[in-house]
A and B are shown apart, each in its own frame.
Chain A
Amino acid sequence: MLRRYFGLVKKDIITGFRNYFFLAVIFVALVFVGIINFVIPENAEIKPNVYYYLEYEGENSNILGDVLDQSEASHSNIHSVTSRDEIVNIMEENFNSIGMVIKAVDNKPMVEFIMQGYENQEVVNTLILSMKDDLNSRIRGDIEIETLWLTEESYQENIPFNKSVLPIFLAMEPTMLGLVMIAAFIFMEKDEGTIKAYKVSPGKIPEYLASKITLMIILGWISTIISTFLVVGFNADYLNLLIIVTVGSIFASALGLIIASFFDNISQSMVWILAASIIFSVPFISYFVPSFAPLYIRVLPTYPLQFAIREAIFPSGNTQIIYSTILTFTILSIISFILAVFAYRRNLARN
């Protein structure tokens, strides 16, 4: 059995190599590394940019000025401009921005928040609250609130923005690689008719599928190691990272196999496989906006996956998520592999 499996794996590696799969995977990883390291700015923000104009010059102007200066110094997304019109112009250019104008009305400072228009009331309330709190704190000093930390306090936000994109790449490319690529392999062998030759040998379907999945895992490892090493060097938990990629890869490949088994040719199945990969990318929104996690996102397996990968690359002490994700995907992998075997028994018997 093992002899057959290794024979199959060797053959699949040669075939994959001669079809430039390895080259394509390495190329994609290098392109991404290039984008992360050189194109995406280190200090880009998903949070909106705030542009403010301080016109007010009355009695509390020094307090207001201090608060704003300090905010500008500690947050890279806060910028001072010189007129209200300028704020509006910038906001029309950049959808992810808000404005703030402070002027005197009846001798009292009046803070005007200029929103895009689509923001919800909670966001507006939070903005006003923040401003009030900053001003009040300046006068009365800080009030400490007791805080209980379940693990230890850490700021994932200190990760440079460009590098924080890496887990998304790893969740999508090396891990979900098999979803798209494995179907190509299966249909190629179907076209060549080699699967028939395999069927009249003692080889079994689980061995055949396991070998294909193995190739996907190897490609995933290559992509993971190249991209992770070139972005963060040795500072990642490579062992756990590779385990996550492995179990994720098994799941994605088996799913690709199951989808492909419903169709006669690659073109038909590709439409649905691409649709599936688009759905699997929806949780990436929660990666950037972690407090946004409705149920339909949480049930997608890529949701925990991306956070587990982040934990493996930028450890924050929360290893729990790594282990629970590995466990989830191990179970998912076993189930989907069994389903894939059944799907192919049925599919091959039909043809």
Chain B
Amino acid sequence: MKRMLAIFRRDIYSSTRDFLILYMIIAPILLTVGLKFFIPSAASASLQFALNSKLGAEVIEEFEKYGSVELYSSDEEIKERVGKIDDIAGISINDKGNFRIILEGNESHDTKEIPRKIVRSIVSGEEVDVNYKVSDIGIQMSPIAWIGGISLIITAITMGGILIGLNIIEEKESKTVKALNVSPMSRLEFIMGKSFIGIIIPIIDVFAILWILNMLDVNLYMIAVMTLASSIIGVIVGFLIGVTSPNQIAGIANMKLLFLLVGMSIIGAILIPQSQHFFLYWVPTYWAFMGFKGIILKTITWSQLGIYVIWILGLTCGIFLLLKNRIRKGLA
């Protein structure tokens, strides 16, 4: 234990010396603050209309029900605005006093169709007598908020792993691993000592991220369990990067592949229909994503969480056992 703490202290020391730990903790937090500013504008995202102010207050008001309205005094200005990259529909009137829609041509279906529907609703009356009612299933949190939050949590967890990896590469490069190998310290102690850092950074960051995003009303015990389980992924990956990379440059190349995998599992979990999620079952971060999603959206039970944790632990242990010899050789 004493020796493990010594390893841990060395890592802390060598990382604080150049503010690395501070950066690693702060970077996800800064990004979270950015996300917090981003969420409201993303949540209010809607269609955009460029209206000729000649259309009059009533029409303008009608369009404002469906999206954000920008006013222009001439069709030329509208055309210039419509020509920009983003999707916006121009609406004006022609010489005969009829509505005219101005489009670039490559807009999405809604930007093309909705203004026509609005215009039709203005120029003609109701034909079918139908009542409308709106209800919801009670999910107030926008997907941007929880997807962004979870992505940052997983980023923070991966950062812990990266730090371990870089520390090991540094020890390998300075040949201090060799000195430790001839000391009475066992390899397990070395591994445990190195792992502390990869667990502490995620815990600090995860709670900070949830706090900034006002998400602390979730089951915090569940968060703690999930964070611990997920940070083991980071730790194992950190070791893999550390032992398989002969130098920092190779470490970075390996990290690129790692980020690809992590990003893939998150994007996949969002985009791929549930029925095809088995494609992603082998990626441990997929289960981390699903776990955090369940906790933050409060749809998960302890037993489900347990299954996710078993998946994570099973997969990471599997990877570890598969590469045990590689790690042993890499540290020798």
* With A44-B271, A278-B31: A150-B102 Cβ-Cβ less than 8 Å: yes
Which of A112, A129, A266 sits near B248, CB closer than 8 Å? A266
Which of B109, B135, B159 sits near A271, CB closer than 8 Å? B159
* With A268-B18, A268-B19: A24-B101 Cβ-Cβ less than 8 Å: no
User: Is residue B99 contacting chain A, with contact meaning CB distance below 8 A?
Assistant: yes
Among A92, A96, A135, A146, the one with the most B-chain Cβ atoms within 10 Å of its Cβ is: A146
Q: Is B85 a contact of A41 with CB atoms below 8 Å?
A: no
Which of B48, B103, B126, B252 sits near A150, CB closer than 8 Å? B103
Scan B48-84; emit 1 where CB is below 8 A from any A CB, else 0.
Answer: 1000000000000000011100000000000100110
Which of B99, B132, B166 sits near A110, CB closer than 8 Å? B132
What total of chain A residues lie within 8 Å of the partner, measured CB to CB? 109
User: Is residue B107 contacting chain A, with contact meaning CB distance below 8 A?
Assistant: yes
User: Is residue A342 contacting chain B, with contact meaning CB distance below 8 A?
Assistant: no
Which of B65, B108, B129, B252 sits near A184, CB closer than 8 Å? B252
* With A39-B268, A130-B117, A290-B111: A267-B166 Cβ-Cβ less than 8 Å: yes
Scan B98-114; emit 1 where CB is below 8 A from any A CB, else 0.
Answer: 11111111111111001
* With A63-B128, A122-B47, A135-B127: A282-B114 Cβ-Cβ less than 8 Å: no
Q: Is B273 a contact of A150 with CB atoms below 8 Å?
A: no
Size class of the B contact interface (CB-based, 8 Å): 35 or more
Q: Is A154 a contact of B137 with CB atoms below 8 Å?
A: no
Task: Write 14 A-B pairs (CB below 8 A) sorted by A numbering.
Answer: A24-B253, A44-B273, A112-B133, A112-B134, A130-B117, A137-B120, A140-B124, A140-B127, A147-B100, A156-B106, A263-B18, A266-B252, A267-B170, A298-B85
User: Is residue A292 contacting chain B, with contact meaning CB distance below 8 A?
Assistant: yes
- Which B residues touch A41, using CB under 8 A? 272-273, 276
* With A117-B136, A139-B128: A31-B260 Cβ-Cβ less than 8 Å: yes
Q: How far is the CA of A152 from the CA of B103 in the complex (A)?
A: 9
Q: Is A275 a contact of B31 with CB atoms below 8 Å?
A: yes
Shortest distance in angstroms between B268's beta carbon and chain A's nearest beta carbon?
7
Q: Is B106 a contact of A111 with CB atoms below 8 Å?
A: no
User: Is residue A116 contacting chain B, with contact meaning CB distance below 8 A?
Assistant: yes
User: Is residue A143 contacting chain B, with contact meaning CB distance below 8 A?
Assistant: yes
- Which A residues touch B86, using CB under 8 A? 286, 290-293, 298
Q: Is A270 a contact of B162 with CB atoms below 8 Å?
A: yes
Q: Is A133 a contact of B120 with CB atoms below 8 Å?
A: yes
- Which A residues touch B88, using CB under 8 A? 291
Q: Is B143 a contact of A125 with CB atoms below 8 Å?
A: no
A residues with CB within 8 A of B? 19-21, 24, 27-28, 31, 35, 39-41, 44, 47, 60, 63-64, 88, 91-96, 105, 108-126, 128-133, 135-140, 143, 145-157, 180-181, 183-185, 187-188, 191, 263-268, 270-272, 274-275, 278-279, 282, 285-286, 289-294, 296, 298, 303-304, 307, 316-318, 320-321
Shortest distance in angstroms between B47's beta carbon and chain A's nearest beta carbon?
5
- Which A residues touch B111, using CB under 8 A? 290-291
Q: How far is the CA of A117 from the CA of B259 in the complex (A)?
A: 33
Shortest distance in angstroms between A73's beta carbon and chain B's nearest beta carbon?
15
Scan B172-190; emit 1 where CB is below 8 A from any A CB, else 0.
Answer: 0100000000000000000
Q: Is A110 a contact of B133 with CB atoms below 8 Å?
A: yes
- Which B residues touch A266, using CB under 8 A? 166, 248-249, 251-252
Shortest distance in angstroms between B87's beta carbon and chain A's nearest beta carbon?
4
Q: Is A291 a contact of B121 with CB atoms below 8 Å?
A: no
Q: Is B101 a contact of A148 with CB atoms below 8 Å?
A: yes
* With A109-B131, A136-B127: A291-B101 Cβ-Cβ less than 8 Å: no
Q: Is A271 a contact of B273 with CB atoms below 8 Å?
A: no
Q: Is A146 a contact of B249 with CB atoms below 8 Å?
A: no
Q: How far is the CA of A310 from the CA of B110 in the complex (A)?
A: 19
Interface of A is mostly: helix
Q: Is A143 a contact of B30 with CB atoms below 8 Å?
A: no
User: Is residue B130 contacting chain A, with contact meaning CB distance below 8 A?
Assistant: yes
Q: How far is the CA of A281 from the CA of B278 in the complex (A)?
A: 27
Q: Is A267 a contact of B127 with CB atoms below 8 Å?
A: no
User: Is residue B42 contacting chain A, with contact meaning CB distance below 8 A?
Assistant: yes
Q: Is A122 a contact of B67 with CB atoms below 8 Å?
A: yes
* With A122-B67, A290-B107: A184-B124 Cβ-Cβ less than 8 Å: no
Q: How far is the CA of A109 from the CA of B129 in the complex (A)?
A: 8
* With A108-B129, A270-B162, A293-B86: A154-B271 Cβ-Cβ less than 8 Å: no
Q: Is A109 a contact of B127 with CB atoms below 8 Å?
A: no
Which of the candidate stretches B20-28, B227-235, B317-325 sits at the interface with the other chain?
B20-28
Q: Is B34 a contact of A279 with CB atoms below 8 Å?
A: yes
Q: How far is the CA of A21 from the CA of B256 in the complex (A)?
A: 10
Which of A118, A132, A293 sits near B142, CB closer than 8 Å? A118
- Which B residues touch A133, using CB under 8 A? 117, 120-121
Q: Is A39 a contact of B256 with CB atoms below 8 Å?
A: no
Q: How far is the CA of A207 from the CA of B166 in the complex (A)?
A: 30
Q: How far is the CA of A159 from the CA of B268 in the complex (A)?
A: 20
User: Is residue B225 contacting chain A, with contact meaning CB distance below 8 A?
Assistant: no
Q: How far is the CA of A113 from the CA of B132 in the complex (A)?
A: 8
Which of B85, B120, B138 sits near A136, CB closer than 8 Å? B120
* With A110-B131, A131-B132, A271-B159: A316-B279 Cβ-Cβ less than 8 Å: no
User: Is residue B41 contacting chain A, with contact meaning CB distance below 8 A?
Assistant: yes
Q: Is B87 a contact of A95 with CB atoms below 8 Å?
A: no
Q: Is B120 a contact of A145 with CB atoms below 8 Å?
A: yes
User: Is residue B264 contacting chain A, with contact meaning CB distance below 8 A?
Assistant: yes
Shortest distance in angstroms between A331's beta carbon and chain B's nearest beta carbon?
17
- Which B residues touch A187, using CB under 8 A? 248-249
- Which A residues touch B252, using CB under 8 A? 180-181, 183-184, 266, 270
Q: Is A271 a contact of B24 with CB atoms below 8 Å?
A: yes
Q: How far is the CA of A143 from the CA of B122 in the complex (A)?
A: 12
Q: Is A118 a contact of B27 with CB atoms below 8 Å?
A: no
- Which B residues touch A151, using CB under 8 A? 104-106
Which residue of chain B has the shortest Cβ distance to A187 in the bound complex?
B248
Shortest distance in angstroms between B68's beta carbon and chain A's nearest beta carbon?
8
Shortest distance in angstroms between B198's beta carbon and chain A's nearest beta carbon?
14
